[in-house]
Structure 1
């Protein structure tokens, strides 16, 4: 496949079989307009992936947080069970050759199902795993009820002969229980018996990762992988790119890189750091991701840094195509609010 940088209408011609575009591509993009004018078949990325989900036995992993880790673990467990799955995940994975994709030769397709712009509603999986439901992508859904409604639609698209694996410990997800129509639903809890076994094998810190591992294990065993194979894969897994990824030391301090960009994720990562290094001081260097997210969840962000000994805030990362409007809610405003409104940290 030939790769071009930039966008030119001349690259789109009648001999192309189809055009697949990213959801962030605006409708005034020259290549998209040219494809439209030529009446070429056009698919958004989720629509194209959705076609694949209809052809393979797809297990879609959804949730506001923890999708990448859960997807990776499920893929590794299926591989350990000689199921040779194809895996598409939202991070780079060492076991996949530092790529976000694993090409398998058998029927299973493990897919990270992102809810941004309702992408996951394009998928038709055989089974689904949901880690949690939270106030995320509010620029798309408006409020928590809107998020819940979308997840219900996603779950309704799961094959009735398949199954659901859901996190019982997440109150928002559990609140949907009476609206689910599938006959085969596995509710997983970190307070169950399986959690004690998993704790002895897991090597990535944090209660959230234990939950992710349990969900992956239940899905894998439901697909025929022996528990001992799942535990072996779990014990060998040390994490993925930007998922509390160890980077080295700086002046004696251990440095980790994590993609946490939501208040819930920040708190989970901070707790995981304290779990990994009890009694040690924990600092964070944080860059808010998207102005609109910072604005809509501002008060949650103010409280999200509880447990830190120090905090360094960078300017907000502006997402192309999503942060067009100016905002008075900035990293400086967050710094002031944390410094004077939160209980910790005091050093900001």
Structure 2
């Protein structure tokens, strides 16, 4: 594993043997809009008008299965479902498929499309979603003193993971090396974050213990940072606990301030952002911070992108989900 490495790259080519190709695409909720729309059809138009495509369109493994069919992936098609950590867990699972020798190439990431009145009402009534409706473009404001919850987004983020040997053999464009993942569970509450960041810290320590990553290498972190009062702070507490003084040289970006929260798609799109930040050596900004919460003891990239250092550098992507799921991914420049 140490000398093999795993590399997101420009894409799988037709020379990849189907039995060595996998697909791991996650969704936290699945086709909730399909389910709700078809229930309306059932009530209003009757049984015969319900679409025969309803089940394939609502099942959470639908995206992984469709990608697997598209690329002829026969090494395995999988769908981790761990709420807002699903996309990151999918990428971690893909790393393990390659690490254990089951695949050479895996298409991995997360996707979600849940903007519908019912999910929005449900999240709002949980007090998880922002109610700053007067200026919706400013409602997602991680680390700001006025943050009051997340803004729901839609989309997908997918990377191609590949063993270093396979990538070199086909002349693939390599963006970075995947160092590994760290996993843990809060065992605290079905929806609320553990306030001290204990579980997040455990996932980060698991990453450090199971890889050759050193805290001094980390110069960038794409934070989970959903713009909730408790969650944003718990993550920073965990970072300080594990990284100590090394946190002072980590440029932290909260890209949900610009994309909204993609739920199961978050880990996918934020992994793409982390990989490209390393590749271009530019940390994306966190927008909408008018007044930084003084309890946020870290270096937040505010307002404008920031150039990252030259030389070998590493970056981390954090994803956490309802149920207490914690996933931490690490990458190194090439």
Tell me, yes or no, whether TM beats 0.5: no
TM-score, normalised to structure 1, is 0.29
TM-score, normalised to structure 2, is 0.30
